[in-house]
Chains A and B, each alone.
Chain A
Amino acid sequence: KQEVTQIPAALSVPEGENLVLNCSFTDSAIYNLQWFRQDPGKGLTSLLLIQSSQREQTSGRLNASLDKSSGRSTLYIAASQPGDSATYLCAVRPNFGNEKLTFGTGTRLTIIP
């Protein structure tokens, strides 16, 4: 059974700092991994999707890496801004044929102005 862990559960950093959020999963047989952002009372916004054959994906100030063999992914946020404050979730999809995502519990990020 796939389990996804995100540590820490909460993180506060001053504005302008670079930061890394961690995601680990127990079963490396994944099809892809998605990083999401959730603002309070809102839905999930997909940030980045990494296919199992890829090592990283970049979008603006965000960079996500994937090490499938070790069951780890990181989300790197450069030059953090107060608007980055949100809960960040990672989710993995198992190999082709099963499309349900398994989510971590998320990291609540606060950027201090």
Chain B
Amino acid sequence: EAGVTQFPSHSVIEKGQTVTLRCDPISGHDNLYWYRRVMGKEIKFLLHFVKESKQDESGMPNNRFLAERTGGTYSTLKVQPAELEDSGVYFCASSAFGQSYEQYFGPGTRLTVT
């Protein structure tokens, strides 16, 4: 069974540009989460999808971040326009209903804004 995949693995953009990160969850997982880790800090929650609906977006830092999950499969996280403080590693995770709600993480996308 394929795990959570993320694309790209690395992205380097200039301040003011737009970047879109993609996450493909484990097949059949209705729950999808985005987290990020900025330099020297702990991993922090951004938002949670249940299928295509946003269940909790309390961790989204501001309106420059837009997450979508059309069709309830893969998800995208767009940052527009990017700022220096957006640099970090963005992780995606997924989980299935009805079990332990164990979250399985992808390898992350390292975003560098210069």
Which residues of A lie under 8 Å from residue B59 when comparing CB positions? 100
Report yes or no: A100 in contact with B43, Cβ–Cβ below 8 A: no
Q: Which of B43, B55, B56, B91 neighbours the largest number of chain A CB atoms within 10 Å of its CB?
A: B43
Which residues of A lie under 8 Å from residue B7 when comparing CB positions? none
Selecting from B11-19, B65-73, B102-110, the interface stretch reads B102-110
Report yes or no: A46 in contact with B103, Cβ–Cβ below 8 A: yes
Q: Which of A32, A44, A101, A103 neighbours the largest number of chain B CB atoms within 10 Å of its CB?
A: A44
Report yes or no: B43 in contact with A99, Cβ–Cβ below 8 A: no
Asked if B42 is at the interface of the complex by the 8 Å CB criterion, the answer is yes
CB distance from A55 to the nearest CB of B (A): 16
Asked if A104 is at the interface of the complex by the 8 Å CB criterion, the answer is yes
Asked if B31 is at the interface of the complex by the 8 Å CB criterion, the answer is yes
Report yes or no: B43 in contact with A103, Cβ–Cβ below 8 A: yes
Q: Given the known inter-chain contacts A99-B33, A99-B48, please indicate yes or no for A89 contacting B43, CB distance below 8 A.
A: yes
Which residues of A lie under 8 Å from residue B33 when comparing CB positions? 99-101
CB distance from A49 to the nearest CB of B (A): 5
Q: Given the known inter-chain contacts A43-B105, A49-B100, A49-B102, please indicate yes or no for A99 contacting B31, CB distance below 8 A.
A: yes
**How long is the Cα–Cα vector from A91 to B91 in the complex, in angstroms?**
14
B49-83 vs A, CB cutoff 8 Å, 1 = contact: the mask equals 00000011011000000000000000000000000
**How long is the Cα–Cα vector from A97 to B10 in the complex, in angstroms?**
33
Report yes or no: A100 in contact with B48, Cβ–Cβ below 8 A: yes
Report yes or no: B41 in contact with A105, Cβ–Cβ below 8 A: yes
Binding site for A on B (CB under 8 A): 4, 6, 31, 33, 35, 41-45, 48, 55-56, 58-59, 91, 93, 95, 100-108
